[in-house]
Structure 1
Amino acid sequence: MNLFLNIVFIIAIVGMAIAMGIASYRIIRGPTLHDKIVALDAFGVMLMATIGIFSVLLDTSYLIVVIMLIGMLGAIGTIAMAKFLEKGWVIDIDRDSDE
């Protein structure tokens, strides 16, 4: 790769590191649980983007599986937390109800 492309990748990685630091602060110090969940979801997306940048830099396609796994776990986690905030539980154990 040429020098210009390497500089662009370095700037992208530094930018993602700064954004992940800000999201980490919001995860730890968020005023409400909703803010923490949104920041955690954004952190997952930024982590996927950072791994994608490293995948291009290393010229490998094996990291796409890791990106997909993080995406699936992030989506399932966000849905589970949203259901917990709405109803107070994630999995309904009562199977005898008519609903």
Structure 2
Amino acid sequence: MLHSVAFIVMCILAIAIALCLFRMVKGPSMFDRIVALDLLGITLIGFVGMLMIVQQTLVYVEVILVLGILSFVGTVALSKYMEGGVVIERDRD
């Protein structure tokens, strides 16, 4: 029963990943693409989590942590770049 539900959830997550990729390519604005990138990272974390449940292993925990960190840093960096054009501000006194 658990494998059937996990398979259905993984199919739904795969569709969500495909829709996120479509929005990243076709997005009307850059901000929509940034949100799609963030959603793609979150959806990938869920997909890998479901894969861990199906395989009954904990070897992908590091993958989930790296995906979470990269997704967060990427979203913040792109948002900051779109806001002002500079990612790292340097004060030159």
Regarding TM over 0.5, the answer is: yes
User: RMSD across aligned C-alpha pairs, in angstroms?
Assistant: 0.9
Letter in structure 2 aligned against 1:5: L
Q: Which amino acid aligns with 2:83?
A: E
Provide the C-alpha distance between the structure 2 equivalents of 1:10 and 1:56, rounded to a whole number of angstroms. 11
Aligned-pair CA distance for 1:6: 1.1
Q: Which has the larger radius of gyration?
A: 1
- Equivalent residues in 2 for 1:1-99 (5 A)? 4-93=1-90, 95-97=91-93
Query: 1:43-84, CA deviations, whole angstroms, 9 ceiling, x for partnerless residues?
Result: 000000000000111111110110000000110111111110
1:92 is aligned with what amino acid?
Answer: E
TM-score, normalising length: structure 2: 0.95
The residue type equivalent to 1:7 in the other structure is: S
Q: What are structure 2's unaligned runs of at least 5 residues?
A: none
Cα shift at 1:92: 2.3
- Which stretches of structure 1, 4 residues or more, deviate above 3 A after TM superposition? none
Distance in structure 1 (CA, Å) of the matches to 2:83 and 2:64:
29
Aligned residue identity for 2:88: I
Say which SS state the counterpart of residue 67 (structure 1) adopts: helix
Structure 1's unaligned 5+ residue stretches are: none
RCO (CA 8 Å, sep 6+): is it higher in 1 or 2? Answer: 2
Aligned length: 93
